[in-house]
Amino acid sequence: MSQIQDLDAGPKVMGDDGQFHATDDAVDLSGTPVEAWVALGFFWLLGLTVFYQFFTRYALNNSASWTEEIARYLLIATVFTGATIGVAKNNHIHVDFFYRYMPQALARAMSTLVDLVRVAFFGAATFLTAQMMEKLGSYKMTIIDLPMNIVYGVVMAGFAAMCLRAIWVAKVHWQRGYSVLQRPESDMNDR
């Protein structure tokens, strides 16, 4: 009986007329980072390219040869720009089990070390991608006569954005005095 009373305590969606009545909350996209819009743009280009590939292959029976290669590169662009969102939200894979049993000072030092290693990793990946682009020089794509450095440039920009976001996350952790490793229930919006 108490469960029925608990259900009745929630918002009323069934009107007296027997019809379903619900209102959606207003959509607020103001907190969406720039990287998310860029990733969404690459995703839409990828979707249009795959649709064009499907249409030319199955409807026209004359497959466009360039679509498979470009779709692959757009998927790479989507992943590397979208990965920045994960860094900004600080929801990468981590193990917080041991932080529960560490002394507070050690947990703080370890979480700061994790932040520093993350920044160093993305910085090194940016640098190494730039070096690889330099070595590739004028290497062209297989089917399209465009330089491969366009693809690697997007990858490098993704790594650079992840590095900048990792610096921002480390700064937030430093200012508030704990990280998500120490308090898993927190997120980047907690201050």
Residues 77-85: what's their mean pLDDT?
94
Q: Between 146 and 77, name the one with better pLDDT.
A: 77
Q: What tens digit of pLDDT does each residue of 102-159 get?
A: 888 888 898 899 999 999 999 999 999 999 999 988 888 888 888 889 999 999 999 9
Give CA torsion, residues 81, 85, 91, 93, to 10 deg.
0
Question: What does the alpha-carbon distance between residue 103 and residue 126 come to, in Å, rounded to a whole number?
Answer: 35
Q: Between 93 and 157, name the one with better pLDDT.
A: 157
User: What one-letter code names the amino acid at 14?
Assistant: M
Of the pLDDT bands very low, low, confident and very high (cuts 50, 70, 90), residue 14 is confident
Of the pLDDT bands very low, low, confident and very high (cuts 50, 70, 90), residue 96 is confident
Angle at the Cα of 188 (from 187 to 191), degrees rounded to 5? 95
Average pLDDT over all residues of the chain: 85
Q: What tens digit of pLDDT does each residue of 43-62 get?
A: 999 999 999 999 998 888 88
Report CA torsion sign: 86, 90, 95, 97.
negative
pLDDT score of 4 = 54
Q: Between 185 and 91, name the one with better pLDDT.
A: 91
Written as six digits, the tokens of 58 are: 């199955």
